[in-house]
Each structure stands twice: as structure tokens, then as C-alpha cells.
Amino acid sequence: MTTALSDIHIRPARLEDAGDLASLCFPEEDAGRVRDYLAFCLCHPHITRLVAEANGRVVGNIELVRWKDKGEIGGLCVAAAFRRRGIARRLLEAAVELARRQGIRRLELYAPADQPWLLAFYRRMGFDGAEKAWLPLTTGGAEVVRLHMGMSPPCGSGEPDGIWVG
């Protein structure tokens, strides 16, 4: 059965999503660690996790971390069986809109340097930049590209259109 994009719902994550996240989105990770990290995110006031739900199962995930007027996107993942259906785009759009509503003026994300298709996706979504960095990970590290997006203020913020600079 194919799930239509209209049947995908984006919503805030809940602790009971941990099982689907572990099995469908992060199958290489220990399920207990996925649950523990989700629990941490859900109680942290500056972290928001959104999930994509299809047919009652979580099939995608994204994270928004906020520091005053700056934010970082991370953890974008869509279950293999649900890729190439626009779900990553919908998750990213939802996270960007949430960032805008929270007053975030600059969003950043890090993408693996060896995945040009992912860099192209983020650029199509409005992210810019090509600053390379090295992120030390437990498996030895990875070369990444830091991308960013200037955000316009939310409607009704009192700042005239065309004057605000991100």
C-alpha cells in the first residue's frame, strides 16, 4: 500500500514514538539509546522534535534546537521505505516555520560533505553556504558542510517588510 503525501501528518514527537524511530528511522542505533535521547529532547526547553506519521507509524524525524535568536536543524531522517515522497521536505518546512514563530533569525545545519544530493536538497530548501568543518564523532569524525538560512521575522513582529536583514 502506497501512502499519499496528504496522508502524512507532521506533529511534535512523543515518548511513545521511540519504538518506531528506533526501528524505522534509526535501525543502526540501540533502541534504548534512541528512547533515552528522545526523552532528553522532550524535557529540554530549547529542543523541539517533530515527526512525520503515516498510517499510525512514525516514518520521519527532525530536530530544532534554539539558542536565543539562533537555531540548528538536525536529525532529519525518513524511513527507507518512505523516502522520495516529499516527507523530508515537509519536515524541514515545518521546522523552518516553527523556528520563524519562535523568533529565530538564523538557522544552521550540518550536512555530510560526501553526500552532494543532500547538500543540493538543503540548498533547494533555501540554505546557503559551503563552510567545511570536522565534527568529532565516536566513530572517528566526519567532514561536514555548514549551511545557514537567514530568517525573516514572523508576521506581526512590528518590523516593516524589506527592512529587516537576517
- Domain ranges across the chain: 5-150
Q: Give me the pLDDT at residue 158, please.
A: 45
Q: Give me the pLDDT at residue 132, please.
A: 79
From 2-6, 24-28, 51-55, 143-147, the region with the lowest mean pLDDT:
2-6
Per-residue pLDDT of 110-139, as tens digits, reads: 988 888 999 999 999 999 987 777 766 656
150 vs 153, more confident? 150
What is the pLDDT averaged over residues 92-102?
95
Q: Give me the pLDDT at residue 108, please.
A: 94
How far apart are alpha carbons 26 and 72 in whole angstroms? 20
What is the pLDDT averaged over residues 68-88?
92
Q: Is the pLDDT of residue 106 over 50?
A: yes
Q: Give me the pLDDT at residue 4, please.
A: 58
Q: Give me the pLDDT at residue 140, please.
A: 66
- Note whether 15 and 43 are within 8 A (CB): no
DSSP annotation string for 81-135: GG-SSSHHHHHHHHHHHHHHHTT--EEEEEEETT-HHHHHHHHHTT-EEEEEEEE
Of the chain, the percentage scoring pLDDT greater than 70 comes to 84
Domain 5-150 bears CATH identifier 3.30.499.10? no
CA distance readout (Å), 22 to 7, 19, 33, 39, 57: 22, 5, 9, 13, 12
Take residue 38 and report the three cell numbers written for it. Answer: 528522545
Give residues with Cβ within 8 angstroms of 112, minimum separation 6.
118, 142, 143, 144, 145
Mean pLDDT of the chain: 85
Q: Is the pLDDT of residue 1 over 50?
A: no
How far apart are alpha carbons 137 and 14 in whole angstroms? 27
